[in-house]
């Protein structure tokens, strides 16, 4: 098991490093295509970027499975019965491992931790989407619903798409693949013209027609697995930009007046107080720094994206250069070590075969005098792959080789007979004994029994008649609520409310009401003119003068009566 984990960890570590130069190469090809063919449509650019991201992902997966040492994992279960020279070369190979490989014990756990964090983020986004769909209403204005149905027919969408309203969002969203929905903020009902709503509806339906929701989930999965690779995020940026602009092109081709769509995007941005769109949804406006570029693109009929900014080129070039330098730093040493490793393994196999052949020949040889006389002149031992003569065993190289093998065997024997090794084995046995005691202890058995008892109680609770009755009651209440909102009475009530609203709107827009308001305004103007006329002001002045004279006369008569 340890060998398997080590092999997978090593393959994963090298796959992470190889993914960097693979991403740099693929991004350079994609960027070069954009610059070489500037007239590409947004849909084509989106498909190229998506293909580049998928290619990078499969390169990572292929590299990982290609680097796993299946031979090591299969032979890991064989007992330790290696000969002395094989042990020597195994030690030699371990000492000659690439230096960068020592960091895999830190890189791989950090990568797995990043995968966990990214998965939690995706799960939270998915739960937000599900929660958002539950907090919507289908009480749509009739004019909106008619426009929505007409837009579905114009785009040729065969899926059953629903239009919903929500007070939890600030911009339109499209989500779902099998049961797609388009969700609009409730605030848009009184703040957007029907022409602007039509443009936004066409944009969201374009996402559904292109299956962008499913493609977006695939993109998020690849981003989650390759989150460490900066080129996956650069390619994702291209995908998002071209996805929105492809939908813009679709809307502009269907609208007679392109300025209405630009006004709609601007209105969405003004009404959006904060960005709270889930990651798995597809919003109409996008980020703020891209809004101005989209509006210019729509109003000026310039259906292309600029990828030739100095800042963009500089960042991409620096990232590619850094990746290539990093790979160049690690790869040559790796190749040398691999070559050395292969050579050592080959040498070990050849020499092991030679020793095995010699031993076999020695045991099967006739050592009689006649045989020795015939064999002494020129003895030749043959194997399946090599021919070894007696001259080899008289050479200084062979004696040095035998001495080296004996020295290695002595070192291995000393290692396994050393006090440190015996202490290590004793420690392992002590730990195994403690683990065995722990799992056989009364406390552990009591703990397991408690867990089983709790599991039994939980199972009894969920299987009890009370719980089933509670669930049945919840389902019954849900059914009643659904029946109420689907009942003819409720629909009639909603229709009556809409009818009354329509009558009120017609009343306040009727010529009689407008004439009545005009008459009230005319009377108010006449009253204002009367109270501001010189005659009225003179009349008021005269009244005030008479009031002063009357007060004076009353006061004078009062003082005259006093003695």
pLDDT in tens, 237-269: 999 999 999 998 888 888 887 787 888 888 787
Contact 114, 227 (CB under 8 A): yes
Mean pLDDT of 66-83: 57
pLDDT score for 310: 52
Is residue 289 pLDDT above 50, yes or no?
no
Give the Cα separation of 281 and 126 in Å (integer). Answer: 9
Mean pLDDT of 54-82: 72
pLDDT score for 22: 92
Query: Looking at 285-299, 396-410, 454-468, which range is the least confident one?
Result: 285-299
Contact 241, 290 (CB under 8 A): yes
Query: What are the beta bridge partners of residue 185?
Result: 166
Query: In this structure, what token pair is assigned to residue 388?
Result: 């070894």
Q: Is the dihedral of CA 141, 142, 147, 150 positive or negative?
A: positive
Is residue 345 pLDDT above 60, yes or no?
no
pLDDT in tens, 505-522: 899 899 999 999 999 999
State the chain's mean pLDDT as an integer.
78
Ramachandran angles phi, psi of 226, nearest 5°: -110, 35
Give the Cα separation of 173 and 285 in Å (integer). Answer: 10
Query: What are the beta bridge partners of residue 22?
Result: none
Is residue 2 pLDDT above 80, yes or no?
no
pLDDT score for 204: 92
Residues in Cβ contact with 490 at an 8 Å cutoff, skipping those fewer than 6 apart: 484
pLDDT in tens, 10-39: 889 899 999 999 999 999 999 889 888 888
pTM here is 0.53
Give the Cα separation of 142 and 79 in Å (integer). Answer: 78
Query: In this structure, what token pair is assigned to residue 247?
Result: 């939908």
Is residue 350 pLDDT above 70, yes or no?
no
According to the per-residue pLDDT averaged within each range, which of 123-137, 352-366, 377-391, 526-540 is highest?
Answer: 526-540
DSSP code of 137? B
Query: In this structure, what token pair is assigned to residue 539?
Result: 């009349």
pLDDT in tens, 530-560: 999 999 999 999 999 999 888 888 887 766 6
Q: Is residue 441 classed as helix, strand or coil in its secondary structure?
A: coil
Mean pLDDT of 55-70: 89
Reported in sequence order, the residue ranges of 409-557 that DSSP labels E, i.e. its strands, are none
């Amino acid at each position: 098991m340890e060998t398997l984990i080590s092999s997978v960890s090593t393959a994963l570590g090298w796959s992470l490093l190889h993914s960097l130069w693979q991403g740099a190469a693929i991004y350079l090809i994609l960027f070069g295509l954009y610059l070489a063919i500037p007239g590409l449509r947004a849909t084509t650019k989106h498909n190229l970027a998506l293909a580049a991201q998928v290619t990078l992902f499969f390169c990572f997966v292929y590299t990982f499975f290609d680097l796993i040492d299946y031979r090591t994992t299969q032979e890991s279960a064989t007992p330790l019965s290696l000969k002395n020279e094989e042990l020597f070369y195994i030690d030699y190979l371990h000492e000659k491992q690439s230096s960068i490989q020592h960091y895999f014990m830190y890189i791989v756990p950090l990568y797995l931790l990043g995968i966990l964090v990214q998965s939690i983020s995706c799960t939270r986004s998915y739960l937000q989407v599900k929660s958002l769909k539950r907090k919507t209403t289908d009480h749509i204005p009739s004019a909106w619903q008619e426009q929505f149905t007409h837009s579905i027919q114009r785009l040729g969408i065969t899926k059953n798409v629903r239009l919903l309203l929500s007070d939890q969002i600030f911009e339109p969203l499209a989500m779902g693949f099998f049961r797609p929905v388009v969700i609009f903020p409730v605030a848009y009902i009184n703040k957007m013209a029907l022409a602007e709503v039509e443009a936004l509806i066409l944009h969201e339906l374009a996402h559904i027609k292109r299956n962008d929701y499913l493609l977006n989930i695939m993109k998020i999965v690849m981003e989650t697995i390759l989150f460490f690779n900066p080129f996956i995020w650069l390619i994702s940026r291209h995908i998002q930009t071209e996805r929105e602009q492809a939908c813009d092109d679709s809307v502009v081709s269907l609208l007679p007046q392109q300025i209405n769509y630009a006004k709609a995007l601007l209105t969405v941005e003004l009404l959006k107080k904060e960005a709270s769109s889930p990651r798995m949804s597809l919003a109409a406006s996008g980020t703020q720094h891209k809004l101005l570029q989209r509006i210019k693109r729509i109003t000026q009929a310039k259906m292309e994206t600029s990828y030739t900014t100095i800042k963009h080129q500089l960042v991409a070039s620096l990232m590619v250069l850094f990746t290539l330098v990093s790979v160049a730093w690690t790869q040559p040493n790796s190749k040398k070590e691999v070559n050395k490793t292969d050579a050592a393994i080959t040498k070990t196999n050849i020499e092991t075969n030679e020793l095995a052949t010699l031993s076999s020949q020695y045991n099967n040889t006739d050592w009689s005098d006649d045989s020795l006389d015939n064999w002494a002149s020129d003895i030749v031992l043959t194997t399946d792959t090599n021919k070894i003569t007696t001259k080899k065993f008289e050479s200084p190289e062979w004696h040095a080789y035998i001495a080296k093998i004996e020295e290695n065997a002595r070192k291995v024997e000393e290692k396994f007979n050393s006090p440190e090794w015996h202490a290590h084995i004793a420690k392992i046995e002590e730990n195994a004994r403690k683990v065995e005691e722990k799992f056989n202890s009364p406390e552990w058995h009591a703990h397991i029994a408690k867990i089983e008892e709790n599991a039994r109680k939980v199972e009894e609770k969920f299987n009890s008649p009370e719980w089933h009755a509670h669930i049945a009651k919840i389902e019954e209440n849900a059914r009643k609520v659904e029946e109420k909102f689907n009942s003819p009475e409720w629909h009639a009530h909603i229709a009556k409310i809409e009818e009354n609203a329509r009558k009120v709107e017609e009343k306040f827009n009727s010529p009689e009401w407008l004439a009545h308001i005009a008459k009230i305004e005319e009377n108010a103007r006449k009253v204002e003119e009367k109270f501001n006329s010189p005659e009225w002001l003179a009349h008021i002045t005269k009244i005030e003068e008479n009031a002063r004279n009357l007060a004076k006369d009353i006061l004078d008569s009062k003082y005259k009566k006093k003695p």
